[in-house]
């Protein structure tokens, strides 16, 4: 019981942060591992719980008009394909080889966003064209694969990529990133379920707590806007990088 209460608290905080700026996995995944859940079951059970949060968050963003479904119909299927391949691969391959590359990338994203005064502050979206749809497909596929295979920082990468490609502000960037993250999460969830890597007795109560965290976080993000999301986004990007650096050097 103490273990489940601990994981529910960690899940609530994780979903709250993740719905605003991504990066919640650096809270929930270590919590599962700390509670003694084996690594592959940690990934599977966390996907089960976080999918509920991602659905809640993306639904609230969609209701508020912050998800571009015209764009999603082009790129979301590639997130699905990428995530399915990613989970199949993670069952077969050691993840450690991605650590250094991802560390460098997410550290760069955080630092760039910190020092850029204009990125994500205003919505500069000027419509869809063949070029930005193509870039979106590449982003969706590779980050879908990454989320299924590894995961930390997926929401941050998605938000940053969508802002850079389409000129979204942080609120629309967060909304569209959460929708894509939901697609990759549910795909990975189905794959982990297929491979029987989920502890449902733990995942269900944590999922409930994450739903409340996601609702609270999304409400604050929509109310406060880019002025709140950007500093949390930068903080979570740097926190993910520091956590990964610690895992490398420990």
User: How is residue 71 written in tokens?
Assistant: 């764009």
Most confident of 26-40, 64-78, 136-150: 64-78
Task: Classify residue 98 by its DSSP letter.
Answer: G
- Whether 93 has a pLDDT exceeding 70, the answer reads no
Structural domain count, the chain: 1
The closest alpha carbon to 155, from 49, 236, 56, belongs to 236
Contact 155, 21 (CB under 8 A): yes
Q: CA 177, CA 21: separation in Å to the nearest integer?
A: 9
Task: State the chain's mean pLDDT as an integer.
Answer: 86
In the prediction, which pLDDT does 250 show?
A: 67
- Alpha carbon of 99 to those of 89, 111, 241: distances in Å? 16, 18, 10
- Whether 97 has a pLDDT exceeding 80, the answer reads no
In the prediction, which pLDDT does 69 show?
A: 96
- Whether 234 has a pLDDT exceeding 70, the answer reads yes
Distance of CA 177 to the CA centre of its chain: 8
Segment 99-150, tens digit of pLDDT? 666 667 777 777 777 777 767 667 788 899 999 999 999 999 999 998 887 7
Q: CA 206, CA 8: separation in Å to the nearest integer?
A: 5
Q: Comparing 141 with 32, which gets the higher pLDDT? A: 141
**Residue 205 CB-density burial (10 A; 0-12 exposed, 13-18 middle, 19+ buried):** middle
Contact 206, 37 (CB under 8 A): no
In the prediction, which pLDDT does 17 show?
A: 87
The closest alpha carbon to 189, from 145, 139, 148, belongs to 148
Contact 96, 45 (CB under 8 A): no
Q: CA 146, CA 129: separation in Å to the nearest integer?
A: 26
Segment 166-206, tens digit of pLDDT? 999 989 999 999 999 999 989 989 988 998 889 999 999 99
Residue range(s) defining the domain that contains residue 75:
2-249
Banded model confidence at residue 243, pLDDT cuts 50, 70, 90? confident
Instruction: Give the least confident one: 76-90, 92-106, 151-165.
Output: 92-106
- Alpha carbon of 144 to those of 20, 71, 123, 154, 232: distances in Å? 19, 16, 25, 8, 23
């Amino acid at each position: 019981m103490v273990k489940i209460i601990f994981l529910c608290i960690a899940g609530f905080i994780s979903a709250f942060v993740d719905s605003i700026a991504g990066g919640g996995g650096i809270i929930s995944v270590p919590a599962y591992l700390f509670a003694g859940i084996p690594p592959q079951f940690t990934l599977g059970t966390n996907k089960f719980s976080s999918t509920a949060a991602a659905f809640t968050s993306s639904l609230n963003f969609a209701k508020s008009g912050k998800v571009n479904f015209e764009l999603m119909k082009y790129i979301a299927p590639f997130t699905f394909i990428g995530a399915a391949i990613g989970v199949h691969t993670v069952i077969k391959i050691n993840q450690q080889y991605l650590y250094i590359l991802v560390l460098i990338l997410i550290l760069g994203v955080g630092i760039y966003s910190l020092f850029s005064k204009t990125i994500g502050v205003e919505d500069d979206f000027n419509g869809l064209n063949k070029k930005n749809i193509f870039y979106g497909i590449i982003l969706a596929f590779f980050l879908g694969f990454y989320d299924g295979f590894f995961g930390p920082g997926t929401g941050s990468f998605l938000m940053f990529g969508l802002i850079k490609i389409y000129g979204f502000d942080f609120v629309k960037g967060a909304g569209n990133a959460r929708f894509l993250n939901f697609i990759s999460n549910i795909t990975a969830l189905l794959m982990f379920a297929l491979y029987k890597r989920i502890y449902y007795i733990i995942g269900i109560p944590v999922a409930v707590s994450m739903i409340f965290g996601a609702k609270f976080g999304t409400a604050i993000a929509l109310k406060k806007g880019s002025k709140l999301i950007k500093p949390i986004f930068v903080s979570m990007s740097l926190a993910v990088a520091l956590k990964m650096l610690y895992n490398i050097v420990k």
